Structure 1
């Protein structure tokens, strides 16, 4: 049987995690999604620049040597830009759906989320 100290050591962190999840779901998640969207856009732009830069250098060298670019250069650039655009649209769709879902969570929903996370933390040692 557990002693009161062991129960207290298990319950206090679970309550703290539950309270943190409540605050996160109720007030912090929606503003954080705006920052995630901006960060994702910056990261995607950096990836696209990294993918297009070698093609840019190659095309520039080709134009210096032969006067015209390689025929596949524009196709590659168009494919990279189309893939980046599709990824950006998918991310915007997912993030807007998350933002809409989080805006509908009220006090009751945030309390349920915090309670489930606290219960999960308490039951974690028994599950694994």
Structure 2
């Protein structure tokens, strides 16, 4: 995926954008960037990254991703807090897939300084 545009919708290549969080020791510096990197992990089938960035109190023991699922786009609709100066934040987004879309407000918190996904509410 090296030269392709990142699945999260930002204009950078996957490696320069979300790929650096998937493969490197660095963590996403904001809740929105974590949300984008988690979407890209769904696109690329990286269940390990999704589990590593899930809050320990809500993380499932395992995650089985459907290899037939085709994600087609991410739209960030709004954010609340979630910057380097916060300990919690939300990201409201719409993730499109072949045949439909998922609209959610996700909650994020910092654990040991790193942003993690806590849970979310599905919206209409």
Smaller-chain TM-score bracket: under 0.3
Higher-strand-fraction structure? 2
Q: Per residue, is there more helix in 1 or in 2?
A: 1
1 or 2 for the larger relative contact order (CA 8 Å, sep ≥6)? 1
TM-score by length of 1: 0.21
